[in-house]
Amino acid sequence: MTITRVSHADLVAESAVQVRSAIRSGRYDGHTAGLAAGKLQCNLAILPERYALDFLRFCQRNPKPCPLVGVGDSGDPTLPTLGHDIDIRTDVPRYRVFRDGRLTDEVTDISGDWADDLVTVALGCSFTFENALVRNGVPVRHLETGKNVPMYRSNIALAPAGIFSGDMVVTMRPIPAHLVDQAKEISRRYPQAHGAPIAVGDPAQIGIADLASPDWGDAVEIRSGEVPVYWACGVTPQNVLLQAALPICITHAPGHMLIADVAEDAETTILTNTRTNKETTS
């Protein structure tokens, strides 16, 4: 049987469940920006159970770059608090498999790599607050120009936990000076998605030498009257995991996220119907 592939445009009006279904069946393996509008999208880190306690401590201590939104049971590929039918082995469009700190595979299905001791950790991502900025009239340059957000290694030390430590990676968005306070206030409402900016203005204050030379992503123009604004970035935990050189670690490929059924503006990242009211649902 041949699989009928679908495009990003085919999926743009579909629900989270339908998009995950297209990904699971092999019909779609592209990026997830703009899909399942209003639903939380997640960065992914899958790692062996013996490192999971320290990694959860690391995320708790560094909530701006590592906003914890879901954790699976050991060996269990479902994530019932994030979505009704999620199978983390198949529901992300594209995965990166790292062994001993080196990228060994980029794949669309990790069923063959799954093991009883693996723990899935889902972290919030910047799509959430970027959507809110745009919705509230704050322009986001890299989205307007079809580029990837510029990302930089900063000199902001992370709070360590076990083998996990390092410096924070930040993103930069140029914001018109008169909209900076609004951008701060809007993004602060999304603690599950990096929250308020880490810094505003001079890149040297956080150890960035040259905004024109990002460490990842694309440089973007800073126009007259605009101020560079820096947010904590989800590449931080990926970078820290890479440096920790675990025997195995699986992440999403950049831009190819897990789409949850949780609304991105929900009070918590937990599907409320996982807390069934036993008496009144009968």
Binding to a copy of itself, residues 165-224 (CB under 8 A): 167-168, 188, 191, 195-196, 205-207
Q: How far is the CB of 237 from a copy of itself (least distance, A)?
A: 15
Q: Is 133 helix (H, G, I), strand (E, B) or coil?
A: helix
Q: How many chain residues interact with a copy of itself (CB under 8 A)?
A: 44
Amino acid at 263: A
**What would the two tokens of residue 120 be?**
């899935």
Per-position x/- string for 253-282, each x denoting binding to a copy of itself as judged by CB under 8 A, each - no binding: --------------xxxx---xxxxxxx--
Q: How far is the CB of 175 from a copy of itself (least distance, A)?
A: 18
Residue 116 binding a copy of itself, by CB under 8 A: no
Binding to a copy of itself, residues 6-45 (CB under 8 A): none
Closest Cα to residue 108, out of 3, 216, 244?
A: 3
Closest Cα to residue 56, out of 42, 67, 64?
A: 67
The span from the CA of 113 to the CA of 65, in Å, is: 27
Among 1-9, 14-22, 52-60, 143-151, the segment contacting a copy of itself (CB under 8 A): 52-60
Among 84-92, 160-168, 218-226, 250-258, the segment contacting a copy of itself (CB under 8 A): 160-168
The β-bridge relationship of strands 39-48 and 118-124 is antiparallel
* Nearby residues of 60 by Cβ (< 8 Å), 6 or more positions away: 68
Contact residue for a copy of itself among 63, 139, 176, 203 (CB under 8 A): 63
Residue with tokens 């083998």: 163
> Is residue 79 within 8 Å of residue 223, measured between CB atoms?
no
User: Which residues are near a copy of itself by CB under 8 A?
Assistant: 49, 52-53, 56-57, 60-64, 68, 70-71, 73-74, 80-81, 155-159, 161-162, 167-168, 188, 191, 195-196, 205-207, 267-270, 274-280
